[in-house]
Amino acid sequence: MTPDRAPAPAPGRASAPDLRPAAPDPGPAGPARGRAPASRAARFLALDLGRDFALLCGGQAVSQLGSRGYGVAVMLWILASTGSPAVVGLVASFTLGVVAAASVPAGWVADRFDRRRVMVVCDGLSAVAVGSLAVAPFRLAHVLPAVAVLAVGWVVRGTAESAAIPNVVEDGQLPRAIALAHGRGYAAGVAGPALAGVLFAVDPVLPFVVDACSYLVAGVCAALVRRPLRSAGPPRGVPAPAEGLRTVWRHPFLRGSTLVAALADFVVNSGGLVLVVVLERHGLPPQATGSALALAYAAGLLGTVAAQRAGRRLPSRRLVVTGLAAGTAATAVLAASLPVAACAGYACLMLARPVWQIPLQTDWTRMVGDEMRGRVNGTISLVMTVPAATAPATVGLLTAALGTGPTGLLLAAVIGAAGLAFAARDRRTPVRAST
């Protein structure tokens, strides 16, 4: 999406956010007309989307790889230091709580301050925080503040980047840019845990050092971006942090599709836990669980490719409905409670996930002006995080009371209902095609 270039409202006068899709802006972000098609290597490195997007995407890909490794290493470190899974759960729950609490303020920061500087500062602080864990023995009084800094950095940095992406690519390139941003996360999910396991076996400090270095790489890449990452200077007045909440609530498509996406993501997070329980109850070793989760992330990576190709032929509404329908079928297979079926079902669920996620995020981005995008993204992040944070406790209670089979069927009913609700929404709601 190109930024909304309407004049800023006069000081002291409220102005409703512009939710009309912005017109394409043939700026210098993409390849010029008549230029030969980009090579496969250039497309793989996102160079065909422009130098600035390649820097943003590449730097954050390195950072996500380090963060995935950190996620595994910090659990192993806490278990080795305390021997208590309860402490691991406490740190994980605390992290999710900070992420949820920081979501709306993160949107305000992304709209109020220079987004390039925001990303650089967040990466620098995150590097310091994770580096402090590498050089100090385990103390909960130290770990919790460090984890809080990391969680805030993840949310603020991610919100600023997602708000900035439409300013470095053309509107027609936006679906592919968003797909690449999703794909790097799945790729990190495949490689990060394995890398962390190897590094932790060599020296428990190494995964934290690598993660700290990955933040520095991302910060340098963000600092090298040349194009402005917002359509104009910061707002003349102080933007209201809650304006993103009001915007999402007032707009029928934003409100409805955000709730649908949150329910679907709740099912995805819950499905992963059902898979782990199924494999554990059948006596499979932890290595099998790790391989099954890596397979699921690889399927998600393939799903981003499928979403891009299908998006060239299908309108976004049909693509979302198709993805949710496929997710419903996959979750029903997961309910079979057999190891092979559970692995296949969860992999297919992850394969379907980008098919609904990418067109939804593309439409959200196109519908919101640049001056409001950070706060809307922050609100959507909050709505998505809260159900995901409840997934572990919910699945734990359901599997204990009902078993994995009925739990899987309940999850299939939830995502199926979400798909039906999206398909049945008012056809007058403005939705643009994802390409």
Q: Which pLDDT band, with edges at 50, 70 and 90, does 39 fall under?
A: low
Domain range for 324 is 242-435
DSSP H helical ranges for 30-114: 40-44, 51-82, 85-112
How much of the chain, in percent, has pLDDT values that exceed 90? Answer: 48
Both 201 and 124 in one domain: the answer is yes
* Range from 27-31, 60-64, 72-76 that averages highest in pLDDT: 60-64
Both 405 and 259 in one domain: the answer is yes
Both 260 and 189 in one domain: the answer is no
Q: Which pLDDT band, with edges at 50, 70 and 90, does 232 fall under?
A: low
40 lies in some domain: no
CA gap 368, 110 in Å, rounded = 14
25 lies in some domain: no
pLDDT at res. 28: 37
- Residue 175 exposure: Cα atoms within 13 Å on the Cβ side: 26
Enter the pTM of the model: 0.81
Q: Which pLDDT band, with edges at 50, 70 and 90, does 197 fall under?
A: confident
CA gap 420, 322 in Å, rounded = 11
- Give residues with Cβ within 8 angstroms of 134, minimum separation 6: 205, 208, 209, 212
pLDDT higher at 277 or 431: 277
Both 229 and 249 in one domain: the answer is no
